[in-house]
Amino acid sequence: MTQDWGKRTKLVHHGARRSQYGEVAEAIYLTQGFVYPDAEAAEARFLQAGADEFIYARYGNPTVAVFEERVAALEGTEDAFATASGMAAVSGTLMAMLRAGDHVVSSRALFGSCLYILEEVLTRYGVEVTFVDGTDLDQWQAALRPDTRAVFLETVSNPTLEVIDLQAVAALAHAVGAQVVVDNVFATPVFSRAVELGADVIIYSATKHIDGQGRALGGIICGTRAFIRKTVEPYMKHTGGALSPFNAWVMLNGLTTIDLRVRAQAASAQAIAEALEGDGRLARVLYPGLPAHPQHSVAKAQMSGFGTVLALDVAGGKEAAFRMLNALQIAVISNNLGDARTIVTHPATTTHQRLPEDQKAALGITPGLIRLSVGLEDTADLIADLKCGLGMI
Binding site for ligand PLP (CB under 6 A): 85-87, 90, 111, 113-114, 154, 158, 183, 185, 205, 207-208, 217, 219
Q: Of the two residues 236 and 390, which places its CB atom closer to ligand PLP in the complex?
A: 236
Least distance to ligand PLP, CB of residue 115, Å:
10
Least distance to ligand PLP, CB of residue 299, Å:
16
Q: Of the two residues 329 and 359, which places its CB atom closer to ligand PLP in the complex?
A: 359
CA gap 371, 379 in Å, rounded = 17
Q: Of the two residues 217 and 255, which places its CB atom closer to ligand PLP in the complex?
A: 217
Q: Of the two residues 26 and 339, which places its CB atom closer to ligand PLP in the complex?
A: 339
Supply the DSSP string of 284-344, one letter for each residue. Answer: EEE-TTSTTSTTHHHHHHH-SS--SEEEEEETTHHHHHHHHHHH-SSSEE-S--S-SS-EE
First-to-final CA distance of the chain: 57
Region for residue 161 given its phi and psi (left: phi exceeds 0; alpha: psi -120 to 50; beta: otherwise): left
- Are 143 and 105 spatial neighbours (Cβ–Cβ below 8 Å)? yes
Q: Indicate the SS3 state at residue 154.
A: strand
CA gap 18, 226 in Å, rounded = 27
Give the burial string for 364-389 (b: 16+ CB within 10 Å, else e). bbbbbbbbbbbbbbebeebbebbeeb
Least distance to ligand PLP, CB of residue 157, Å:
8
Least distance to ligand PLP, CB of residue 184, Å:
8
Q: Of the two residues 28 and 217, which places its CB atom closer to ligand PLP in the complex?
A: 217
Least distance to ligand PLP, CB of residue 113, Å:
6
Least distance to ligand PLP, CB of residue 367, Å:
21
Sign (positive/negative) of CA torsion 374, 379, 381, 384?
positive
CA gap 122, 99 in Å, rounded = 9
- Strand ranges inside 164-273, DSSP E: 179-183, 201-205, 219-223
Tell me how many degrees the CA angle 336-346-106 measures, rounded to the nearest 5.
70
Q: Of the two residues 221 and 320, which places its CB atom closer to ligand PLP in the complex?
A: 221
Among all residues, whose Cβ is closest to ligand PLP?
86
Helix (H) or strand (E) holding 237: helix 233-239
- Are 131 and 123 spatial neighbours (Cβ–Cβ below 8 Å)? no
Give the gyration radius of the chain's Cα atoms. 21
- Are 352 and 109 spatial neighbours (Cβ–Cβ below 8 Å)? no
Q: Of the two residues 156 and 393, which places its CB atom closer to ligand PLP in the complex?
A: 156
Q: Of the two residues 70 and 385, which places its CB atom closer to ligand PLP in the complex?
A: 70
Least distance to ligand PLP, CB of residue 278, Å:
28
Q: Indicate the SS3 state at residue 11.
A: helix
Q: Of the two residues 153 and 393, which places its CB atom closer to ligand PLP in the complex?
A: 153
- Are 320 and 368 spatial neighbours (Cβ–Cβ below 8 Å)? yes
Least distance to ligand PLP, CB of residue 318, Å:
22
Amino acid in the structure at residue 212 = G
Least distance to ligand PLP, CB of residue 152, Å:
11
